Structure formats: structure tokens, C-alpha cells
């Protein structure tokens, strides 16, 4: 399953849904936003699935159970079973089960998703530090999670109980905007205890391992909108990735990406699964993609040509990342991006 990590834009002569056996899809910003399906998502996923691609949905949100997530996707017009959903709660529950005795008690600071995942691994969720837990696990508990729950975690950790976190995303999108995520809650406990949790979620290896174990993917493609979770997770798992520009990442962030945040492919939305990806080739001192060429000068990127905007962005990325090497690109890309309206 492992393959060489590619950190420059690549092309594919086949549709990605044919070149890869499984799509490991992030949800918010990729499939839906604010609970509603993103444009082209439903149709694109249906076509990919009809062509034989296995679709799996991978989320760092430990609050909702796989059944709840599957029901939501089905309501949006994307038929999904609970077995097609992989959560950070499942990844952290497996991690804990490998380090504590069978049937051990685990203090839960979070929601139902964590409790269901722990029971699946034969562990017993408890609510108090006085219940003699063998571990503390912390996951997103929603806006109703009480402050007293953090204190309960601190009491147990102070007694030497090992601490685990489903994920450390500092923020989570909501219908009203950006809200504090589990990472913000983890910081509360970290500050109070001075301890460090073992973390399972994207972009760390336990989450990628969980997706492969549950899907059986042999040639997976990670599909996401976030560089620091989805794309870095693919990098850590040594698999290819597709960045879609329907979520939090824009052209400027992409161009400044360090190697571990550089996707294999870039496309506007999930329609990118259904097509081949244009090749980015060396051209003189720069790179060409479609009708665009891009070169890296001393302190700026130069873009020339005409054609599809994304072709220009792919050429810009190749030029910027080659110039940056293992560092973060600091070249002035403002005027080049302005030509692409990105």
C-alpha cells in the first residue's frame, strides 16, 4: 500500500476514480459545508462509486457516531453505511485498547462517539476520576460540554493516569462560523496538568492506520481541503492526495506550503475525481501546465499564458515549491495569483 511521497503537482492519465481503489474523503469543506452538500459533491461521488471506487469518509470529529454521520450523508443523497465512516474516536479507542488491559475503564471527556468507539474495543466508559480509570480520553464534546469535565480529567491525570486525545484541531467549523475545537479543550487540560496526551487523529499515523484497517484499501487517495490535517496525513501515510478548493485552503496558502503540506493533485471540487489530472512539466527555467507557464525569479513568481485557471495554479506551485525546496515558499506570488483570481 505504501508508495513514494510526491511533493510536486503530478498528472494522471486516468481518472483518479480509476487510478485509485479507495477515496478517503474528509467531510466538512469537501463533501458538505454547514450541513449542506457542496456543489457537485453528490453527483461526483455517485459517479465515482458507480465506476467501482470505494468511498470512505474520514473525520476528526469524535462527537458523532459513524451511524449518525452515515445517516446525514444518506439524507444529502450520498448513500452511506456506518462501515464507510472512520472517526478519530475509533482511532483513539484502538490506540488505548492496545495499551490497557482488556475490559479496562476509561474516563471519557467528550461525547457519544467516544463512548461507542470504546465499547467497540471492549473498554468501559466511566464518568469520574473516582471510578479507577486506566486511561483518560478527550474528544470533541460539543458546545454543551461542561467545564467540570476538564477538572475530572485533571484529577485523574494528576494521579498518573495516561491521557489520550482523539485529535488536536484547534477550531471546528459551524453554521455560525469558526468555533473552538477539541484542540482548544486539550490545551485547557495541558495547561492545568503540564501533561502531554497521546493523539490519534489526522494527521498522525494512528488515524491513517485505522482507515486502512477498516477499508482494506490497497491504493488509497486522500481527499481533503486542509493542508495541516488531510494533506499532512496523506504525507505521513505515504499515499497520494487530492486537495479540493472548496474549503479552507486558498491559492496563497497552497503556494506557501512546506513539503508535508503539498498535495499530489489540486482541483476545484470533487469533479476532480472523475477526470485525469493535467501533467506539470519542466519548461525552460520553469514549469508548464496546460496553457500556462510559471517561473521562479529571485523574489517573485512569474506567470505567463492563457487557459484554465487551475492549470496556472499547478504550474505556479511547481515553480514555487522547486524554488523553496524543503522550506516554505516566501516568493511574492500576489500578482501571479491575481491573474488567476485566486
Which pLDDT score is estimated for 4? 58
Please write the tens of the pLDDT for every residue from 108-127. Answer: 999 999 999 999 999 999 99
For the chain, how are helix, strand and coil distributed in percent, rounded to 5?
Answer: 40, 25, 40
Q: How confident is the model at residue 340 (pLDDT cuts 50, 70, 90)?
A: confident
* Res. 1: pLDDT tops 70: no
Report which of 233, 282, 243, 288 is spatially closest to residue 265, judged by C-alpha positions: 243
Question: Does the active-site annotation cover 83?
Answer: no
Which pLDDT score is estimated for 179? 86
Q: Is the peptide bond before 203 cis (omega within 30 degrees of 0)?
A: yes
Evaluate whether 212 touches 219 at the Cβ level (below 8 Å).
no
CA distances, 132 to each of 105, 222, 322 (Å): 7, 39, 54
If you average pLDDT over residues 248-273, what whole number do you get? 94
Quote the cell numbers at residue 301.
513568481
Q: Name the strand (E) or helix (H) holding 255.
A: helix 251-255
* Res. 84: pLDDT tops 70: yes
Q: How confident is the model at residue 37 (pLDDT cuts 50, 70, 90)?
A: very high
* Res. 327: pLDDT tops 80: no
Question: Does the active-site annotation cover 26?
Answer: yes
* Res. 163: pLDDT tops 90: yes
If you average pLDDT over residues 223-249, what whole number do you get? 95
- Select which of 26, 225, 240, 267 is catalytic: 26
Q: How confident is the model at residue 297 (pLDDT cuts 50, 70, 90)?
A: confident
Report which of 326, 186, 169 is spatially closest to residue 248, judged by C-alpha positions: 169
* Res. 333: pLDDT tops 90: no
Q: What is the 3-state secondary structure (H, E, C) of 116-149?
A: HHHHHCCCEEECCHHHCCCEEEECCCCCCCCHHH
- Select which of 21, 28, 71, 169 is catalytic: 28
If you average pLDDT over residues 5-9, what whole number do you get? 74
Q: How confident is the model at residue 334 (pLDDT cuts 50, 70, 90)?
A: confident
Quote the cell numbers at residue 244.
479540493
If you average pLDDT over residues 18-39, what whole number do you get? 94
Please write the tens of the pLDDT for every residue from 189-222. Answer: 999 999 999 999 999 999 999 999 999 999 999 9
If you average pLDDT over residues 46-70, what whole number do you get? 97
* Of 197 and 5, the one with more pLDDT: 197
Please write the tens of the pLDDT for every residue from 96-112. Answer: 999 999 999 999 999 99
Which pLDDT score is estimated for 176? 79
Which pLDDT score is estimated for 2? 42
Report which of 193, 185, 186, 224 is spatially closest to residue 207, judged by C-alpha positions: 224
Which of 21-30, 57-66, 166-175, 205-214 has the lowest average pLDDT? 166-175
The alpha carbon of 220 is separated from its chain's Cα centroid by a whole number of angstroms, namely 14
Amino acid at each position: 500500500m505504501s508508495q513514494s511521497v510526491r511533493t510536486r503537482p503530478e498528472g494522471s492519465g486516468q481518472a483518479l476514480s480509476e487510478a485509485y481503489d479507495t477515496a478517503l474523503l474528509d467531510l466538512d469543506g469537501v463533501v458538505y459545508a454547514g450541513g449542506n452538500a457542496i456543489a457537485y459533491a453528490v453527483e461526483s461521488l455517485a459517479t465515482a462509486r458507480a465506476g467501482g471506487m470505494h468511498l470512505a469518509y474520514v473525520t476528526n470529529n469524535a462527537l458523532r457516531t459513524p451511524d449518525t454521520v452515515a445517516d446525514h450523508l444518506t439524507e444529502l443523497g450520498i448513500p452511506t453505511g456506518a462501515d464507510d465512516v472512520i472517526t478519530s474516536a475509533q482511532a483513539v479507542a484502538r490506540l488505548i485498547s492496545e495499551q490497557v488491559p482488556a475490559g479496562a475503564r476509561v474516563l471519557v471527556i467528550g461525547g457519544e462517539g467516544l463512548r461507542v468507539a470504546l465499547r467497540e474495543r471492549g473498554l468501559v466508559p466511566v464518568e469520574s476520576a473516582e471510578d479507577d480509570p486506566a486511561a483518560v480520553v478527550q474528544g470533541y464534546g460539543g458546545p454543551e460540554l461542561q467545564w467540570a469535565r476538564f477538572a475530572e480529567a485533571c484529577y485523574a491525570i494528576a494521579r498518573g493516569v495516561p491521557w489520550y486525545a482523539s485529535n488536536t484541531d484547534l477550531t471546528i467549523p459551524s453554521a455560525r462560523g469558526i468555533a473552538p475545537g477539541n484542540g482548544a479543550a486539550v490545551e485547557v487540560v495541558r495547561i492545568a496538568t503540564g501533561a502531554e496526551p497521546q493523539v490519534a487523529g489526522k494527521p498522525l499515523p494512528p488515524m491513517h492506520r485505522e482507515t486502512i484497517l477498516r477499508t482494506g484499501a490497497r491504493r488509497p487517495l486522500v481527499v481533503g481541503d486542509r493542508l495541516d490535517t488531510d494533506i499532512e496525513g496523506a504525507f505521513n501515510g505515504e499515499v497520494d492526495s487530492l486537495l479540493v478548493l472548496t474549503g479552507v485552503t486558498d491559492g496563497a496558502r497552497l503556494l506557501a506550503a512546506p513539503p508535508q503540506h503539498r498535495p499530489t493533485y489540486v482541483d476545484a471540487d470533487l469533479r476532480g475525481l472523475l477526470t485525469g489530472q493535467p501533467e506539470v512539466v519542466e519548461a525552460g527555467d520553469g514549469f508548464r501546465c496546460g496553457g500556462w507557464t510559471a517561473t521562479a525569479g529571485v523574489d517573485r513568481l512569474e506567470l505567463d499564458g492563457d487557459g484554465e485557471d487551475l492549470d496556472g495554479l499547478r504550474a505556479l506551485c511547481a515553480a514555487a515549491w522547486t524554488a523553496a525546496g524543503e522550506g516554505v515558499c516566501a516568493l511574492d506570488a500576489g500578482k501571479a495569483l491575481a491573474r488567476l483570481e485566486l
